[in-house]
């Protein structure tokens, strides 16, 4: 009887320990950590001091020798241990120094020309009294080459059509982010006696967004998501572009089921503030050429690793009131990601002042910096259409990767 009682008691104790451990260790978060995540020593200190992975978890860095193809190289790993001695996760990391950036929070105008032309629609061409349509290109395709010649605008295509004598063209285009090649027969328009492809195209894009940060080398990140064509939704491949100062004319507040917006004006061709050279799924990037009214040297902070972003209080920096101000938000869900995404975490606006001004997150606020515990952790990217007080953010280290 005594032995049975002891075994039963041990079973109860083990079950209790298991339940306590599971409730106090974020196993899901730990096991979803990817490879080669950037981390600083201050990030590691924060992980351990604030027990971000759980009450019974410690993390430390180790150096290992890896042999690949007979070549030895040293790699640093993050080792996560339960109770200080049971290893439960080991992943390679990139140890780096804390990098300070100047915070943005001001609206900008973006104007870009594309690498290639975007097919925004198709149309019929009247040829010999019959209507003919192209059977190759679709709305949303990006036409990049004709007969091996780079295409940037309408005149580039027209030149190739004028020289083709009706012969088949070798075309290169991008569809669903994949480069494709095809043969395409031009159609002779009987009304104009010119060869045509039967497509409507555009080779530029404009929009409003918010500056996220500027590095000490005058490189900037903004918007937090890609510039997309407003008709087709495709990500615009940038040939070149400019950023411009904006004047805010007014704000349409967001309501349930209807996104609000910053109503802003910028003038293309006026003095630009910088050059755009990259458009990615986590933002727009380039170089600041005129920092006046762009950089506030009093607003700077380090960039945090995505490993230390946590559920809890944070702040948005925005100029919706006319000046750069901080507004209270709450991070309500975070995601561990192995690949860059413009939906890294979810937050809710808590600040009554911001809710009174905008109703929450509105179009044009994309790129607004998000700061937690004195460090830049990300930027606003999307609003929840059914609830404008909630939005998505992108991790700042995804954005910083694009400028380093």
Token pair for 91? 């992943």
Contact 214, 223 (CB under 8 A): no
CA proximity to 215, closest of 287, 138, 121: 287
In angstroms, the Cα distances linking 1 to 4, 8, 10, 11, 15 are 5, 10, 14, 15, 21
**Integer Cα distance of 59 and 82 in angstroms:** 9
225 tagged catalytic: yes
124 tagged catalytic: no
**Integer Cα distance of 315 and 328 in angstroms:** 5
**Integer Cα distance of 332 and 92 in angstroms:** 27
**Integer Cα distance of 190 and 127 in angstroms:** 5
Query: Which DSSP string do the residues of 77-143 spell out, in sequence order?
Result: EEEEEETTTEEEEEEEEEE----EEEE---EEEEEEEEEEEEEEEE--EEETTEEE--SS--TT-EE
| Three-class secondary structure of residue 25 per DSSP | strand
In this structure, what are the phi and psi dihedrals at residue 397, rounded to the nearest 5 degrees? -75, -25
Owner of token pair 């004195």: 374
Catalytic residue among 351, 368, 382, 397: 351
Contact 223, 366 (CB under 8 A): yes
In angstroms, the Cα distances linking 367 to 83, 140, 360, 384, 393 are 40, 25, 15, 16, 9
Catalytic residue among 111, 318, 366, 368: 366
Catalytic residue among 225, 229, 342, 344: 225
296 tagged catalytic: no
Owner of token pair 């120094």: 97
Active site members: 225, 351, 366
């Amino acid at each position: 009887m005594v032995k049975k009682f002891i075994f039963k008691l041990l079973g109860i104790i083990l079950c209790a320990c298991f339940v306590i451990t599971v409730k106090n260790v974020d196993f899901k978060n730990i096991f979803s950590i990817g490879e080669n995540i950037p981390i600083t020593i201050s990030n590691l200190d924060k992980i351990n001091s604030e027990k971000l992975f759980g009450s019974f978890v410690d993390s430390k860095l180790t150096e290992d020798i890896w042999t690949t193809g007979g070549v030895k190289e040293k790699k640093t790993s993050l080792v996560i241990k339960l109770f200080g001695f049971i290893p439960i996760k080991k992943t390679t990391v990139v140890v780096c120094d804390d990098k300070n950036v100047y915070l943005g929070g001001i609206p900008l105008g973006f104007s870009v020309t594309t690498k290639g032309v975007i097919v925004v629609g198709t149309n019929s061409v009247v040829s010999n009294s019959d209507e003919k349509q192209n059977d190759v290109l679709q709305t949303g395709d990006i036409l990049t080459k004709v007969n091996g010649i780079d295409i940037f605008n309408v005149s580039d295509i027209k030149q190739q059509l004028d020289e083709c004598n009706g012969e088949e063209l070798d075309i290169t285009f991008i569809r669903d982010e994949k480069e494709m090649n095809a043969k395409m027969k031009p159609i002779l328009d009987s009304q104009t006696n010119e060869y045509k492809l039967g497509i409507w195209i555009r080779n530029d894009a404009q929009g409003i967004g918010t500056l996220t940060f500027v590095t000490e080398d005058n490189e900037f990140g903004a918007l937090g998501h890609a510039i997309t064509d407003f008709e087709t939704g495709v990500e615009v491949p940038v040939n070149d572009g400019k950023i411009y100062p904006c004047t805010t004319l007014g704000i349409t507040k967001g309501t349930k089921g209807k996104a609000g917006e910053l109503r802003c004006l910028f003038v293309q061709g006026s003095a630009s503030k910088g050059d755009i050279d990259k458009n990615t799924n986590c933002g727009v990037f380039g170089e600041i050429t005129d920092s006046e009214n762009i950089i506030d040297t009093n607003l700077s902070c380090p960039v945090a690793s995505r490993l230390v972003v946590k559920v809890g209080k944070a702040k948005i920096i925005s100029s919706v009131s006319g000046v750069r101000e901080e507004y209270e938000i709450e991070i309500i869900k975070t995601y561990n990601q192995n690949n860059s995404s413009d939906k890294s975490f979810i937050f809710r606006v808590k600040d009554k002042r911001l809710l009174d001004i905008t109703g929450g997150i509105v179009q044009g606020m994309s790129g607004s910096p998000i700061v937690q515990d004195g460090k830049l952790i990300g930027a606003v990217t999307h609003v929840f259409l059914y609830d404008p007080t909630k939005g998505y953010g992108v991790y700042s280290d995804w954005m910083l990767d694009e400028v380093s």
